[in-house]
Amino acid sequence: MTTPEPLAEVRDLHVRFVGRENTVHAVNGVSFTVNPGKVLCILGESGSGKSVTLRALMRLLPVQAKIEGTVRAAGRDVLALRGKALRDLRGGEVSMIFQEPMTALDPVYTIGQQIGETVRRHTGCDRAKAWARALELLELVRIPSAERRLDAYPHELSGGLRQRAMIAMALSCDPRLLLADEPTTALDATVQIQVLILLRKIQRELGMGMIFVTHDLGVAAEIADTVAVMYAGRIVESGPVGRILAAPLHPYTAGLLASTVHGQPRDRDIDAIPGSPPDMRRLPRGCAFAPRCSRRREGCLATVPPEHYPEPGRMAACIAIEKHAEDTLLVHG
């Protein structure tokens, strides 16, 4: 049986934003693979490089961004694409759900016009067929009174309905790879879980690959197959979602899990990670997490930690990981 070609394959990705006075090192050597039918969740604090990594997959970064490495999406070398070939990839084979639909949707066009334009651009069908497809998509994402909503403008819809319309637009041309940039952050808890369940259901039915960016561990647990934890532009831990949430190996991942209210006693303060994320213009020479780490050693400040693979499918980049991994895996089995 042949192994399917990955839908996303990123190797040693670096993204720098070059300014007149400073250079921001936003992504620093990121690598991952997403196979058909699988969901990778990129998890981390704000400013860790999650969204920049996602946008690099579609070349949606500003001109001052310098991208290096290998980026393949839907079998295409993204960094080599130009003009029409790049436009065909965007929205066709690879599509994206943005974080805030109110700014991503055009306020002067109706929902039906915006979805229909996308369908016509990538399929070449006529206006009537594009309109019928737009209606089908709104029904797919369970927007009530779908036919009436086609004539609505974005400001006439609630946040949850706008996000569903964004999902419908992203799915309009049957993409093979779906990129979701914190699509539930602005939604209340009830709507958030509805959107997550909907996304997971559609992803499984259509067999798409998906990369889902979030800072919410609960969201990762709900939707991901595998997780990549980012800090200061690097992936510091990756592996199956269940294993990482049950037995985190990297001290940063453990800190994220301990700093949530879920499972904490009511009379106990949350165990927040001390300190602040590093300045991405002046990254430290060694481990970027070392100044905040309770397991810091002398060598942590000297060099970037190597990647360790304590079990198949799991990676953690920390020089103190070997002894801790042995203890953690022994306890959690």
Which of 111, 145, 174 is a domain's end point? 174
Mean pLDDT across the chain: 87
| Per-residue model confidence (pLDDT) at position 331 | 47
Pairing mode of beta strands 307-308, 315-317: antiparallel
Clarify whether residues 259 and 184 are in a common domain. Answer: yes
Clarify whether residues 136 and 202 are in a common domain. Answer: no
- Asked whether residue 180 carries a pLDDT value surpassing 80, the answer given is yes
Clarify whether residues 129 and 189 are in a common domain. Answer: no
| Per-residue model confidence (pLDDT) at position 271 | 74
Residue 75 lies in a domain: no
10 Å Cβ neighbour count for 176?
18
Number of domains, the chain? 2
Which of 174, 195, 223 is a domain's end point? 174
CA–CA dist 209, 203 (Å, integer): 7
Question: What are the start-end ranges of the E strands in the chain?
Answer: 8-18, 23-34, 39-43, 65-73, 76-77, 94-97, 177-181, 209-214, 226-231, 234-240, 307-308, 315-317
Tell me the pLDDT tens digit for each residue of 164-178: 898 889 888 888 999
Half-sphere exposure of 322 (CA within 13 A, CB side): 4
CA–CA dist 105, 111 (Å, integer): 8
| Per-residue model confidence (pLDDT) at position 108 | 94
> pLDDT-derived band of residue 274, with 50, 70 and 90 as boundaries?
confident
Range of the structural domain that residue 159 is part of: 100-174
Residue 268 lies in a domain: yes
Clarify whether residues 206 and 264 are in a common domain. Answer: yes
Clarify whether residues 152 and 207 are in a common domain. Answer: no
Clarify whether residues 312 and 187 are in a common domain. Answer: yes
Which of 156, 174, 192 is a domain's end point? 174
Clarify whether residues 114 and 160 are in a common domain. Answer: yes
147: closest CA among 115, 173, 171?
115
Clarify whether residues 122 and 154 are in a common domain. Answer: yes
CA–CA dist 300, 33 (Å, integer): 28
Clarify whether residues 205 and 321 are in a common domain. Answer: yes
Q: According to the per-residue pLDDT averaged within each range, which of 229-233, 282-286, 327-331 is highest?
A: 229-233
CA–CA dist 133, 119 (Å, integer): 8
Clarify whether residues 164 and 181 are in a common domain. Answer: no
- CATH code assigned at 214: 3.40.50.300
Clarify whether residues 217 and 319 are in a common domain. Answer: yes
